[in-house]
């Protein structure tokens, strides 16, 4: 008996995974460099301070106020840029995985073809749709046709083989969709924590300066506290965006997974129903 050649999809997915890892390793340092440049030359521009005195002048706008947040600010800006960049990247990848058309409409068409026993039309619909969902379903339909030619297995064994093939195809497609989501999930926590760290260090500096100045200066203390709280604001904003992005993409992936499971079940049930007497 001739051996079945390995699926070329495996190599493609490994290459895609490698590309995604390289993308992640490049984005973070580049985002950090950009954040430092923005902090130094945009936020730290003398035009944002009274008299152009960056060291001792009071900020005249929000840019100057954010700049006074201290060295933690570029770190928080790096996190914010990473959330935005990885969200865009996941949006593109998951959009491609869904295919060229509406997933729900595609699933309904495939199920209609399955109910009528038109496997070739269902496979052709997968070619039109493209994407991860269509790839998994097409793999199941291909196995469906192979099982129709198989004579050494009973119906239950054939149904199990089709189901196993769909599960294997799914295991190749789904990890690609979940890549880099862990980075967004991590930024949910460290964004707020880093913001609080910046606030605490800023408060320490403010009170230390107040202690060495002798007489209490309420205006100086209030200014120092407001500058320290900039870090908390940036951290909370970053974490909020990360939470929204993570939940949005997780929901999208769950929808695609459900569509695959639903259609895969329909393929197996259709085969079992049409071959129960064979």
Domain boundaries of the chain, sorted by first residue = 8-274
pLDDT at 1 over 50: no
What is the DSSP secondary-structure string of 50-110?
GGG-TTTSPB-SHHHHHHTT-THHHHHHHHHHHHHHHHHHHHHHHHHHH-SS-HHHHHHHH
Report the predicted TM-score, pTM, of the whole model to 2 decimal places: 0.84
How many CB atoms sit inside 10 A of residue 163's CB?
17
pLDDT digits (tens, 9 = 90+) for 121-146: 999 999 999 898 999 999 999 999 89
pLDDT tens, position by position, 78-124: 999 999 999 999 999 999 999 988 898 999 999 898 888 888 999 99
How much is the pLDDT for 6?
44
Which residue shows structure tokens 């129960």? 276
Can you read off the two tokens belonging to residue 235? 């951290």
What does the alpha-carbon distance between residue 71 and residue 76 come to, in Å, rounded to a whole number? Answer: 9
Convert the pLDDT of each residue in 189-247 to its tens digit.
999 999 999 888 888 877 777 777 666 566 667 667 777 889 999 999 999 999 999 99
Helices (H) and strands (E) in the chain, counts: 9, 0
């Amino acid at each position: 008996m001739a051996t079945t050649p390995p699926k070329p999809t495996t190599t493609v997915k490994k290459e895609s995974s490698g590309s995604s890892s390289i993308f992640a390793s490049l984005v973070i340092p580049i985002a950090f460099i950009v954040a430092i440049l923005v902090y130094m030359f945009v936020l730290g521009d003398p035009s944002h301070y009274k008299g152009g005195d960056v060291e001792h002048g009071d900020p005249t706008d929000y840019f100057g106020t954010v700049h006074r947040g201290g060295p933690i600010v570029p770190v928080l800006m790096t996190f914010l840029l990473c959330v935005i960049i990885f969200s865009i990247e996941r949006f593109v990848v998951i959009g491609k995985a869904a295919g060229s058309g509406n997933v729900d409409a595609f699933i309904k068409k495939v199920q209609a073809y399955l109910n009528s026993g038109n496997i070739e039309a269902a496979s052709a619909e997968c070619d039109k749709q493209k994407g991860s969902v269509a790839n998994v379903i097409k793999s199941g339909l291909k196995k469906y046709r192979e099982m129709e030619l198989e004579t050494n297995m009973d119906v239950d064994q054939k149904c199990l083989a089709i189901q196993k093939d769909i599960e294997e195809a799914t295991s190749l497609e789904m990890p690609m969709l979940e890549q880099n989501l862990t980075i967004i999930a991590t930024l949910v926590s460290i964004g707020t924590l880093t913001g609080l760290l910046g606030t605490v260090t800023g408060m320490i500096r403010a009170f230390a300066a107040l202690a060495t100045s002798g007489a209490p200066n309420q205006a100086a203390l209030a200014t120092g506290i407001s500058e320290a709280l900039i870090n908390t604001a940036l951290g909370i904003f970053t974490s909020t965006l990360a939470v929204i992005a993570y939940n949005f993409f997780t929901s999208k992936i769950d929808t695609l997974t459900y569509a695959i499971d639903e259609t895969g079940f329909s393929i197996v049930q259709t085969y079992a129903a049409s071959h129960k007497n064979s």
